[in-house]
């Protein structure tokens, strides 16, 4: 049967329009891309859920490791403390292997948290640099709460801000460099102090240069950027590394303050080198990694081949308007010092408060009491009115490290600066005046010793000056600190 032809004026039946095909849903990133990547957006629910899960996982791993090695049940409030000394105390004096393993376990979680915080900040329309607060222990908790509460910004804001998260973007490049420097600084410091047990030139000379080189190379590897910006990124990497050592309670503020001038100079040199390496070759990071990986072995060799420590003498003098006979009783022992110390001593460096003596003559024991404890000084030369010499049998820590935490005791406080002996010399000037000279002989087991001696010599000079000025004031007022000692003075 055939269809009849349709009349020309017959109305046409509209053909059914095809049903619209569903628009493809955006592809969800895989778990590894979400955790370790830098391009997948992170919205508020994802950030909150993944963050809570990772925190529970990290707590379980750390608590399980500590329980397996020490039998201690690590409570959540201990876990929330950022101080590395909390872990050290739990490990009863520092099980170096377990402590190092704790640090290694922290590194991937550190990157995941920083990467997701970076993308969450951009998703919320906030500056990507806000995520750097994740590197600050204590503030990182507040940052995570804030980012878990902020709503997502309009999509156009994400597209505009996400351009900086492209591998060639400045922010991501700087972030890679800062993280590389941070990991290097913390890792090498822990290895040098807890495993090798030395503060040597490799730690203080080479490490800051490597931090600057790593940071600058990452910053310039995809596009050559300005020298000033490269130095700024390297300096920021060193500053964040120092702040991390402070906030993890690995070091105190005073020693970091002393180390920072040389660290910044060497870091700038490293930044210039890293920028130049990035301009000539993209594989320069291989050479930097080789040097970084060789650092532990070099530190061990340095510790094993160290030369015998050399005694250093610091001598200070003052002229007193009193005779040697009047000065001698206040040298043997003296009452409490009342002059306020300079700021660096008030900040934690130990300073003397008083001195007393048990007995008289050679074999007597003098106790010079500092803010951190007492020096025990057996007398080796007793020449009334002329000379008092002593050895140092034991000494207290050289400082109370300033820190946000109550107890911080870096390894360098034990034996790295040790007083060996001391001496007072009274020289009669013949006109009723006395020149009083004080000397301290000490050894310094910190490298580079030439740099650290600048600080230690200055601090010991300050301690000498405080004591000598106190003796001067007592003697010129006619005060007698040790009455029995005056009877021993016989001058030719």
Report pLDDT digits (tens) over 244-296: 777 666 677 778 888 888 889 888 988 887 887 776 655 556 666 677 777 88
CATH topology of domain 312-486: Alpha-D-Glucose-1,6-Bisphosphate; Chain A, domain 4 (3.30.530)
Distance CA 329, CA 143 (A): 61
Q: Which distant-in-sequence residues (6+ apart) come within 8 Å of 272 by Cβ? A: 216, 227, 230, 231
Counting residues of the chain whose pLDDT is more than 90, the rounded percentage is: 22
Distance of CA 226 to the CA centre of its chain: 28
Six-digit token string for 412: 């360098």
Contact 331, 424 (CB under 8 A): yes
pLDDT digit string, tens, across residues 406-442: 555 566 666 678 999 999 999 999 889 999 999 999 9
Q: Write down the pTM of the prediction.
A: 0.62
Q: Are 165 and 38 in contact (CB under 8 A)?
A: yes
Per-residue CA distances from 389 to 115, 354, 422, 426, 435 (Å): 61, 17, 6, 11, 16
Rounded to whole angstroms, the Cα distance separating 400 from 345 reads: 10
pLDDT tops 70 at residue 18 = no
Token pair belonging to 143: 């940052």
Contact 318, 468 (CB under 8 A): yes
CATH 3.30.530.20 spans which residues of the chain? 312-486
């Amino acid at each position: 049967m055939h269809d009849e032809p349709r009349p020309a004026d017959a109305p046409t039946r509209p053909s059914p329009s095809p049903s619209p095909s569903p628009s493809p849903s955006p592809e969800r990133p895989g778990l590894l891309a979400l955790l370790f990547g830098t391009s997948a957006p992170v919205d508020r629910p994802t950030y909150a859920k993944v963050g809570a899960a990772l925190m529970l996982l990290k707590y379980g791993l750390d608590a399980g490791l500590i329980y397996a090695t020490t039998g201690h049940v690590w409570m959540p409030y201990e876990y929330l403390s950022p101080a590395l000394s909390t872990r050290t105390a739990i490990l009863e004096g520092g099980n170096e292997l377990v402590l190092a393993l704790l640090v290694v376990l922290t590194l991937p979680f550190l990157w995941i948290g920083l990467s997701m915080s970076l993308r969450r900040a951009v998703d919320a329309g906030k500056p990507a640099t806000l995520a750097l607060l994740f590197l600050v222990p204590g503030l990182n908790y507040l940052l995570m709460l804030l980012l878990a509460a902020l709503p997502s910004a309009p999509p156009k804001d994400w597209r505009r801000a996400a351009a900086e998260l492209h591998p060639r973007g400045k922010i991501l490049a700087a972030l890679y460099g800062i993280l590389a420097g941070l990991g290097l600084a913390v890792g090498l410091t822990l290895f040098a102090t807890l495993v090798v047990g030395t503060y040597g030139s490799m730690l203080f000379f080479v490490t800051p240069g490597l931090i600057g080189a790593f940071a600058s190379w990452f910053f310039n590897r995809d596009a050559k950027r300005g020298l000033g910006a490269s130095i700024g990124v390297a300096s920021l990497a060193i500053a964040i590394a120092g702040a991390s050592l402070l906030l993890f309670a690995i070091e105190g503020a005073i020693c970091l303050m002393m180390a920072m001038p040389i660290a910044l100079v060497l870091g700038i040199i490293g930044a210039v080198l890293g920028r130049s390496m990035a301009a000539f070759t993209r594989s320069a990071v291989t050479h930097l990694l080789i040097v970084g990986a060789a650092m532990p072995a070099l530190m061990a060799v340095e510790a094993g081949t160290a030369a015998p420590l050399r005694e250093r003498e610091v001598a200070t003098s003052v002229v007193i308007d009193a005779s040697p006979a009047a000065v001698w009783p206040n040298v043997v022992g003296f009452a409490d010092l009342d002059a306020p110390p300079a700021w660096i001593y008030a900040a934690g460096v130990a300073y003397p408060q008083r001195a007393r003596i048990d007995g008289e003559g050679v074999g007597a024991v003098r106790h010079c009491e500092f803010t951190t404890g007492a020096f025990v000084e057996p007398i080796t030369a007793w020449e009334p009115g002329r000379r008092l010499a002593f050895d140092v049998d034991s000494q207290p820590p050289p400082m109370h490290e300033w820190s946000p935490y109550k107890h911080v005791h870096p390894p360098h406080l034990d034996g790295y600066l040790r007083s060996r002996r001391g001496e007072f010399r009274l020289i009669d000037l013949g006109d009723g005046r006395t020149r009083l000279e004080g000397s301290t002989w000490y050894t310094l087991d910190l490298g580079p010793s030439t740099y650290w001696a600048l600080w230690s010599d200055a601090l010991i000079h300050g301690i000498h000056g405080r004591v000598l000025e106190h003796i001067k004031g007592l003697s010129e007022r006619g005060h007698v600190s040790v009455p029995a000692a005056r009877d021993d003075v016989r001058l030719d």
